[in-house]
């Protein structure tokens, strides 16, 4: 299902060289990074499109904190023997967008900080007040965030940044800390879509200036780089290889001359990758405008000898044709991830297809969820923290 490239290109370094086309060696050679292996990862789904307080984790590889019980607060006086009350306004809400808090526990000490979890915030969703509400309801400690990553300049990922950064910076003030906000240098203020009614503009993205005012130490990065002592890799531009993943049809941006110009490929999109020890790569993708298969192929390009363990985030297949859904699933299965954690723009049809063809290997992201990869003891402790955070 992927485009044919000339046979002359070196096919080494791919998960399945007979299926996927090779990249020119010059590109492959330029991407040499070593990730610090992790003992475990905790993913806090602060914002994604869906909520689901009840469904247990369908995979023994992923633990899940109790979603509903987090909304229970102690009653001032027992009510006929009941000690707690379930407060609906303490539960989390979904919204179009994505924000994930990622706690990475190094398997070995890194950066003089031993095995202390390293904390990356991946996107901040579409609304600052929703980010603050969900984070607070989950007991998510904004003050622990060390690095904020924006996957791309779309408002369903960026608009919550100012409030999130303000909260993080406020919490860090005591320690005189500043939070790094890692942005692609091709800053886009307005993006939109061409429709039969004309261009529909999105609201403005935050700017470098507004984020600095909120307390960010902005770093502009268009190339792949390691962050937090090598616990995470932030990618550079994601190469477009497959023939069926073509960005957003009708996508436009407002240029400096006040003209709406074609912008279907969203080339500023970047993914984040980390490495679970003895398991493989965990890939975080915001909206997969590059195509979720292209995202995975690029991770394999950077780390050719490491299997893909899990793909987390928006697969952007909600509005895909049946043909594209089929091609995406076929190629995803060839990449052999142990786990899929789709959310945001993935759409129920593709999730259904994964569940059907890869039963038990999908754990969907839900807003207000805490999910833990391969670490029973951390799961137990954090569950307790989660409940305590609401008291």
Choices 42-50, 114-122, 257-265, 280-288 (CB under 5 A): range interacting with Zn ion: 280-288
Taking the C-alpha atoms of residue 224 and residue 123, their distance in angstroms, rounded to an integer, is: 17
Cβ(390)–Cβ(71) under 8 Å? Answer: yes
Handedness of CA 263, 265, 270, 272 (dihedral sign): positive
Q: Please say which residue, 64 or 270, places its beta carbon nearer to Zn ion.
A: 270
Which token pair is 77? 């006086």
Q: Please say which residue, 11 or 222, places its beta carbon nearer to Zn ion.
A: 222
Q: Please say which residue, 97 or 230, places its beta carbon nearer to Zn ion.
A: 97
Backbone angles phi, psi at 312, to 5 degrees: -115, 130
Cβ(46)–Cβ(344) under 8 Å? Answer: no
Q: Counting contacts by CB under 5 A, is residue 287 touching Zn ion?
A: yes
Q: Please say which residue, 287 or 290, places its beta carbon nearer to Zn ion.
A: 287
Compute the 3-state secondary structure of the chain and give helix, strand, coil in percent, each to the nearest 5. Answer: 25, 25, 45
Nearest to 123 by CA among 252, 270, 25: 270
**Residues of this chain, 95-114, that bind Zn ion according to CB under 5 A:** none
Q: Closest separation between CB of residue 160 and Zn ion, Å?
A: 12
Residue whose entry in the numeric block shows the structure tokens 């993006």: 191
Instruction: Print burial letters for 164-201: b (CB count within 10 Å at least 16), e (below 16).
Output: bbbbbbebbeeeeeebbbbbbeeebebbbbbeeeeeee
Q: Closest separation between CB of residue 205 and Zn ion, Å?
A: 11
Choices 27-35, 47-55, 149-157, 238-246 (CB under 5 A): range interacting with Zn ion: 149-157
Cβ(316)–Cβ(289) under 8 Å? Answer: yes
Phi-psi map region of 173: left, alpha, beta (phi>0 left; psi -120 to 50 alpha)? alpha
Residues that bind Zn ion (rule: CB under 5 A) add up to a total of 3
Q: Please say which residue, 119 or 263, places its beta carbon nearer to Zn ion.
A: 263
Q: Closest separation between CB of residue 153 and Zn ion, Å?
A: 8
SS3 292: helix
Cβ(160)–Cβ(99) under 8 Å? Answer: yes
Q: Closest separation between CB of residue 379 and Zn ion, Å?
A: 28
Q: Please say which residue, 33 or 348, places its beta carbon nearer to Zn ion.
A: 348
For the window 215-244, what string marks contact with Zn ion as x by the rule CB under 5 A? ------------------------------
Q: Closest separation between CB of residue 150 and Zn ion, Å?
A: 11
Q: Counting contacts by CB under 5 A, is residue 156 touching Zn ion?
A: yes
Q: Counting contacts by CB under 5 A, is residue 154 touching Zn ion?
A: yes
Q: Closest separation between CB of residue 240 and Zn ion, Å?
A: 15
Choices 45-53, 84-92, 153-161, 203-211 (CB under 5 A): range interacting with Zn ion: 153-161
Q: Please say which residue, 65 or 98, places its beta carbon nearer to Zn ion.
A: 98
Q: Closest separation between CB of residue 26 and Zn ion, Å?
A: 30
Please give the residue ranges that form the binding site for Zn ion (CB under 5 A): 154, 156, 287
């Amino acid at each position: 299902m992927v485009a044919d490239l000339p046979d002359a290109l070196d096919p080494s370094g791919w998960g399945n060289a007979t299926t996927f086309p090779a990249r020119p060696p010059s590109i492959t050679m330029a991407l040499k990074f070593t990730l610090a292996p992790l003992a475990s990862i905790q993913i806090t789904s602060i914002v994604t499109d869906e909520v689901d307080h009840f469904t247990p984790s369908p995979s023994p590889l992923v633990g899940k904190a109790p979603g509903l019980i987090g909304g229970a607060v102690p009653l001032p006086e027992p009510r006929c023997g009941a000690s707690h009350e379930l407060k609906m306004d303490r539960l989390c809400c979904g919204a179009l967008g994505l924000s994930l808090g990622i706690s990475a526990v190094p398997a070995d000490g890194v950066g003089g900080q031993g095995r202390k979890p390293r904390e990356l915030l991946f996107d901040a969703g579409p609304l600052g007040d929703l980010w603050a509400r969900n984070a607070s309801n989950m007991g998510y400690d904004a003050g622990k965030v060390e690095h904020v990553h924006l996957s791309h300049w779309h408002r369903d990922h960026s608009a919550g940044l100012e409030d999130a950064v303000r909260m993080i910076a406020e919490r860090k003030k005591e320690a005189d800390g500043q939070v790094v906000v890692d942005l692609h240098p091709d800053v886009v203020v307005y993006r939109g879509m061409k429709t039969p009614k004309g261009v529909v503009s999105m609201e403005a993205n935050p700017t470098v200036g507004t984020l600095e005012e909120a307390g960010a130490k902005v770093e502009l990065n268009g190339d792949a780089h390691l962050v937090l002592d090598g616990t995470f890799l932030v990618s550079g531009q994601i190469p477009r290889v497959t023939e069926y993943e073509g960005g957003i049809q009708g996508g436009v941006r407002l240029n400096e001359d006040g003209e709406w110009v074609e912008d279907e490929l969203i080339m500023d999109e970047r993914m984040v990758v980390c490495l679970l020890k003895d398991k493989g790569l965990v890939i975080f993708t915001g909206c997969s405008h590059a195509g979720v298969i292209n995202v995975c192929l690029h991770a394999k390009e950077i780390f050719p000898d490491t299997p893909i363990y899990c793909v987390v985030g928006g697969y952007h297949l909600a509005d895909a044709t049946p043909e594209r859904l089929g091609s995406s699933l076929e190629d995803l299965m060839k990449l052999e991830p142990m786990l899929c954690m789709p959310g945001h723009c993935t759409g129920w049809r593709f999730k259904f297809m994964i569940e059907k063809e890869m039963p038990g290997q999908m754990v969907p992201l839900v807003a207000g969820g805490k999910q833990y990869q391969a670490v029973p003891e951390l799961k137990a402790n954090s569950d307790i923290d989660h409940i305590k955070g609401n008291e």
